[in-house]
Structure 1
Amino acid sequence: MRQNTGLHRALLVSLLAIAATLVSRDICRAQTSESGDLSIELVDPKVLRVCADPRNLPFSNEKGEGFENKLAEFFAEKLQKKLDYMYFPQATGFVRMTLGSHRCDVIMGFPQGNDLAQGTNPYYRTAYALVVKQGSGLDDVATLEDGRLKGKHIGIVAGTPPATNMAVNGLMMNARPYPLMIDTRFDSSAEAMIGDLQKGEIDAAVLWGPMAGFYAKNASPALHVTPLVKETTGPKLAYRIGMGVRPADQNWKRQLNRLIQENQPAINKILLDFGVPLLDENDRPIGAETATKSP
C-alpha cells in the first residue's frame, strides 16, 4: 500500500511538472502574441504570403497584373516584406487548400459575412452592375425593375444574387446563364459574357462590379456600367470587401486594419485605375475627386 502511494505521488509530481511547463509555455506564447510578434501567426514573418488565383483578372494572375496583385505589392512595400504567392484556382476548396493549410497568410479580397475565414475591415464597397453598349437605349437603366429590360437577352452568372432579382422581375425567360463554378485556368464567365455583349448575342450583362468595370473599361468601344444599388425587390447587391485571415491571427488582422486605414486613398486609386465602381455607404460613386474617403 505504501509502495502504491509512493508511485501515485511520483506520478502526480511528474504530471504537475508537465502541466506547469505547458502553462508556462502558453503564457509565454500569449505574451509574445499580445506584444504584436507575428512569428506565431504567419508562415514566415519576413514574407507577405498571399493566397491568390493564378488566372482571375481583374483580381489576380500569375503575371501580377490584377488589382489584388498591385495591392499586395503596395502592402509588401509598406510592411517592408518580400512578396510571395500561393496560387490555387478560386473554386471549391480554395480557402482550405491555401489559408487553411498555412500555405499563405492573407486572401486579398474577401466579402464581409463569409465565415470561411476571418475578415479584416473592408477596404472597398461595390455592387453588381448592369453593363450595356453605349447608345443602346439602356444606358440610363438603373434597376432590374426597369420595364425596358422586359424581353431583353441578359447575361447572368448562375447562382449569383442578382439572378434572384431577375427572377422576381420576370427576366429569366430570355436570360443567358453563365456558369458560376469554373476552372479559371481555362475559362472566364465574365470574359465570355462581355464577348457575347459586344457581338450582340445578348443585350445586357449583369456582373460583379470589379469584373463589370474592368471589362467595360478595356472593351473597344468602352461599355456603360451602372451599379445596381436601387433594387427594391430581391437581395441587396452592394457588398463590403476586406481581406481574409485565419480566425486565430488577431495581431495580423490588426496590422492589416492599420494598413487599410492609413492608406485608403492609395488603395482607392489602385481600384479606380482598374475600373472598379467604388461606392460610399450611401451608394454614391467614389470617383478620383473623392477617392480619399473610406468605404
Structure 2
Amino acid sequence: MRPVEAYAQASDKGALELVDPDVFRACGDPRNLPFSNDKGEGFENKLAELFAAKLGKKLSYTYFPQATGFVRMTLGSYRCDIIMGFPQGDDQAQATVPYYRTTYALVTKRGSGLEDVTKIGDPKLRDKRIGVVARTPPSTNMAANGLLTNAKSYPLFIDTRADSSAEAMMDDLAKGDIDCGILWGPMAGYYASKASPPFVVTPLTKETTGPPMSFRIGMAVRPTDQEWKRTLNKLIMENQAEINKLLISYNIPILDETNMPITADTLSKRP
C-alpha cells in the first residue's frame, strides 16, 4: 500500500486532503447487517460499490467493530476515507449532506392490535412486555410513560462479531417472550422482514416529548477533506432516487421531511 503522503491533494483552502485518488476506501463493521458485513451484503456495502463505480475507482474495505473507538481507529487513523453511515450532529467527524432520514420503529406481530401505534405514549402499550435497547432515545420515552416495569432491556454496546441485540429481540418476539419491540428503523425493517411470517414495522413518528427519535444520516469524512466532501455531496444529490431504491430493497423505513414514508410506490409516482 502506498504511504498516505501519496494521497495528499491540496484543497482550495490550502489544506492537504489525504484521500486516495484511485481507491474508494470505505470503513465498516464486519458483522452489522443491514448496514455492512465482511461479505459485502449490507446496504452500505452496496452504496459504496455504487459510488466507487460512479467515480471510476476500485473499492476497498477496512473492517472494525462499530463500538467505542470506531471513528478513531478507522477514519481518524487514515485506514479509510469514508464511513458510509453517520448521523448528522455527531461531532466525531464531518458529515456529508444526508442521504436518508429514518426513525425508531415499533415491531409487532400481525394481529397483535398494536400495528397502528405511532407513539410510545399510546395507551395500547400499557402493561405490554416491550423490548428496547438500553440507553437509546426510546428507553427515555418509555421511562417517562411508565413502561419500563415490564420491559426487557437489550445491551447497546456489544461486540457485533458475537452478538446482535436486534436479532435477540426479534427471536424473543417470535417466541412470545415480549409483545413488541422498539428498534432503530433500519434494523427494525430488515430483521422484521426475515421473520416468518414477517413482523409489522410502524415508524414512531408522533413523539412530541423527550429526546429526538428521527435522525438524518449522511456519510463521514475527515474535517480537512473539504473537496472530498463536496464530491460526495454531489454524488448523493445526483443519485438520490437510486439510493432510495436501494434502501427500500432492504426494507428500511425512510421518511420525508413531513414524516411521510418514502416507498417504492411513492417513488414511482414522482416526476
Do both proteins adopt the same fold according to a TM-score greater than 0.5, normalized to the shorter chain?
Answer: yes
For 1:60, give the aligned amino acid: S
- Hey, what does 1:99 align to over in structure 2? 75
Candidates 155, 163, 182, aligned match of 1:179: 155
**Using the alignment, how far apart are the partners of 2:74 and 2:253 within structure 1?**
28
- Hey, what does 2:4 align to over in structure 1? none
Q: Which has the higher helix share?
A: 1
- Hey, what does 2:247 align to over in structure 1? 271
Aligned residue-pair number:
263
Structure 1: tracts of 5 or more residues without a match: 1-28
**Using the alignment, how far apart are the partners of 2:124 and 2:94 within structure 1?**
41
Q: Which has the larger radius of gyration?
A: 1
> CA offsets, 1:168-201, max 9 Å, x none?
1110011100000000000000010011001100
**Using the alignment, how far apart are the partners of 1:192 and 1:131 within structure 2?**
13
- Hey, what does 1:19 align to over in structure 2? none
1:232 Cα deviation (Å)?
Answer: 1.9
Q: Secondary structure at the match of 1:49?
A: strand
Contact 1:130 1:206 in 2 (8 A): yes
Contact 1:265 1:292 in 2 (8 A): no
1:291 has 2:262 as partner: no
1:233 Cα deviation (Å)?
Answer: 2.2
> CA offsets, 1:41-79, max 9 Å, x none?
244210000010000000000000000001000111101
Q: Which has the higher strand share?
A: 2
Q: Secondary structure at the match of 2:237?
A: helix
1:219 Cα deviation (Å)?
Answer: 1.2
- Hey, what does 2:105 align to over in structure 1? 129
Contact 1:144 1:166 in 2 (8 A): yes
1:291 Cα deviation (Å)?
Answer: 3.2
> CA offsets, 1:240-259, max 9 Å, x none?
00000001100000000000
Alignment of 1:1-295 (within 5 A): 32-34=10-12, 40-291=16-267
Contact 1:229 1:236 in 2 (8 A): no
**Using the alignment, how far apart are the partners of 1:231 and 1:85 within structure 2?**
37
Q: Secondary structure at the match of 1:64?
A: coil
Contact 2:99 2:243 in 1 (8 A): yes
Contact 2:158 2:164 in 1 (8 A): yes
- Given the two structures, how large is their TM-score scaled by the length of structure 1? 0.86
Deviating beyond 6 angstroms after TM superposition, the runs of 4 or more aligned structure 1 residues are: none
Contact 2:19 2:228 in 1 (8 A): no
- Given the two structures, how large is their TM-score scaled by the length of structure 2? 0.93
Contact 2:87 2:215 in 1 (8 A): yes
Contact 2:117 2:204 in 1 (8 A): no
CA-based RMSD of the aligned residues comes to 1.9
Contact 1:264 1:293 in 2 (8 A): no
Q: Secondary structure at the match of 1:41?
A: strand
1:33 Cα deviation (Å)?
Answer: 1.9
